């Protein structure tokens, strides 16, 4: 019976709509959504989270409508300023900051027509669980 329940949970997990999950720690019979995450997945998720924070913190700190965000040419500088560590695209297997942001897809972060980093997420949110 336990084996049948486990197989049912596996089938439910395989056909899961991640956007409909209420609890990422239990999406199908006790299976966490991140069950198969590898080191690279956690690292990329952390980068997306930090870049999103950078977008909103910079906008809040500067509070200048003429400076809507961080330009791609200054991304490394402000990343180090806010997080105290270097942003090295080569660590992620890409050459430029634009390629680095594109690794996250266009779900959360993107560059505007003027090459300013932007986020599709609101600056205020209830839970960090919205990050992929």
The answer on pLDDT for 6 being more than 70 is yes
CA distance 18 to 105: 16
Who wins on pLDDT, 107 or 4? 4
Who wins on pLDDT, 131 or 41? 41
The residues, ordered by sequence, that sit 6+ positions from 39 with a Cβ below 8 Å of its Cβ are none
**What is the model's pLDDT at position 81?**
97
The answer on pLDDT for 7 being more than 90 is no
**What is the model's pLDDT at position 128?**
61
Give the pLDDT mean for 32-47: 89
Q: What is the pLDDT of residues 89-132, one digit of tens each?
A: 999 999 999 999 998 876 789 999 999 999 988 777 666 665 55
Who wins on pLDDT, 84 or 9? 84
Q: What is the pLDDT of residues 55-93, one digit of tens each?
A: 999 999 998 988 889 999 999 999 999 999 999 999 999
Residue 22: band (very low, low, confident or very high) from pLDDT cuts 50, 70, 90: confident
């Amino acid at each position: 019976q336990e084996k049948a329940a486990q197989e049912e949970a596996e089938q439910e997990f395989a056909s899961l709509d991640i956007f409909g999950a209420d609890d990422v720690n239990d999406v199908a019979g006790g299976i966490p959504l991140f069950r198969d995450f590898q080191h690279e997945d956690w690292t990329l998720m952390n980068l997306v989270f930090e870049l999103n924070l950078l977008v909103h913190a910079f906008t809040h700190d500067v509070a200048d409508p003429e400076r809507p965000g961080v330009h791609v040419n200054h991304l490394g500088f402000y990343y180090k300023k806010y997080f105290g560590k270097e942003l090295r695209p080569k660590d992620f297997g890409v050459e430029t900051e634009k390629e680095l942001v594109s690794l996250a897809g266009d779900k959360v972060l993107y560059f505007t027509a003027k090459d300013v980093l932007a986020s599709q997420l609101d600056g205020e949110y209830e839970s960090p669980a919205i990050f992929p």
